[in-house]
Amino acid sequence: MKRSEFIKVLGLGAVGLMANGVFLRHGLAYDNDQIRKIKNWAWITTDLEISDDDWLRKFSVMRNAGIDAVLPEIFNSREAYYASQHLPVGGEWLERILTLAKKEGLEAHAWMWSMPCNIPEIYEKYPEWYIVNGNGESSVVKPAYVDYYKFLCPSREEVKEFIEKRVKELANYDELDGIHLDYIRLPDVIIAEALQPRYNVVQDREYPEFDYCYCEVCRSKFKEQTGIDPLELENPSQNEEWRQFRYDSVTSLVNDRLVPIAKRHGKKITAAVFPNWEAVRQQWMVWKLDAFLPMLYHNFYYGDMEWIETQTQKGVAALAGRAPLYTGLFVPELNPDELRQAVQASLNAYAAGVSLFHANALSEDHWRNLSEIMRLAPQE
């Protein structure tokens, strides 16, 4: 099938081809390649047990089904799975995966957790690096929801340097295509609706217990800017300037500190982001990344296929053609037919492709359905 027909199949028939080679629809401009060449990703959770031969077999299945890039999880807030010089190392896994992925013609992007840090040596030695909630409680002592919600404060210089070290180490891997930032945010002040019963919380508004960060550094930096101590505000979480300060503290870490390192080394830099970005203080649409992988995990929000399509559309519109968006899909809650529908919904909403969480959750039928829909996609 030709590209023009594929675009029709996906319901993009109304897309107009401009003389200068840019597609326009609903006032959004796209580079030719962004909209026409579909690219798909798969997150791979850490697994040191699988043999090299089995990885090669898995990668071959993925490649044939239309996956172009894999995202191996090489830092999980506790251990690094590459030869880090500054983090506890659980195994040199990235080194293996890189070689094997390249053999199968896949791009490899190192998936790293960013703000949570559950390394005892760090939280014992530097407890002041950690975020503090609106009640003055540190995430080391009283993490929100789950024990591992020990997040570092993005306003602290020592924290920025600590996270930079990881990105620098990764950027030095010649074969690596990119660095993928996960948990690049603050804790959920309101957690996804369907997860609230799981954590036994009812969040009808923003409560100080889940609202971060009120550490000395954040408060004094905000006071310098505005003359206000956020703790003296009547309802601090609803104060626009204070909200923006928190968004900006994460944005500045990304744009001013991490992106330049990746660029200097010729690496792509991407992130896994939230549809309800305000709740995690993650204003990702202003980040200078090469691509965005929003986690549109429909079941967390009581969503359906239409929700996936609407959220994809929203994200694409927010980026306004500055970078491609790949819809993140939660495969454990999608049967093979639903996966097909979810991919279709994402492409209908102008995603540049999908990212699957996670590779090991796909059955043979899932892979077959993905490969069927991708066979229609333009192949260069």
User: Interface residues with Zn ion (CB under 5 A)?
Assistant: 153, 155, 213, 215, 218
- Minimal CA–CA distance to 255: which of 213, 289, 221? 289
151 vs 173, which CB is nearer to Zn ion? 151
Q: Tell me how far CA of residue 339 lies from CA of 18, 309, 365, in angstroms.
A: 33, 13, 10
- Pick 4 or 220: Cβ nearer Zn ion: 220
Q: Cβ 183 to Zn ion, closest distance in Å?
A: 16
CB 281 to Zn ion: min, Å: 11
DSSP state of 253: I
Burial (CB < 10 A; 0-12, 13-18, 19+), residue 105, is exposed
Q: How far is the CB of 133 from Zn ion (least distance, A)?
A: 10
Cβ closer to Zn ion: 229 or 372?
229
- State in angstroms the smallest separation of the CB of 304 from Zn ion: 38
**Residue carrying structure tokens 């202003």:** 286
Task: Give Rg (Cα) of the chain.
Answer: 21
Closest CA to 121 of 132, 109, 110, 129: 129
Per the structure block, which two tokens stand in for 291?
A: 């691509």
Q: What is the signed CA dihedral for 24, 319, 108, 112, rounded to 10 degrees?
A: -170
Give the pair of three-digit tokens for residue 211: 């609202």
Angle between helix 240-252 and helix 216-226 axes, rounded to 10 deg: 120
The CB-of-155 to Zn ion minimum distance in angstroms stands at 5
Nearest approach in angstroms of CB 161 to Zn ion is 15
Q: Between residues 139 and 346, which has the closer beta carbon with respect to Zn ion?
A: 139
Nearer to Zn ion, 134 or 328 (CB): 134
Q: For residue 142, which of 211, 91, 150, 134 has the smallest C-alpha distance? A: 150
User: Cβ closer to Zn ion: 34 or 155?
Assistant: 155
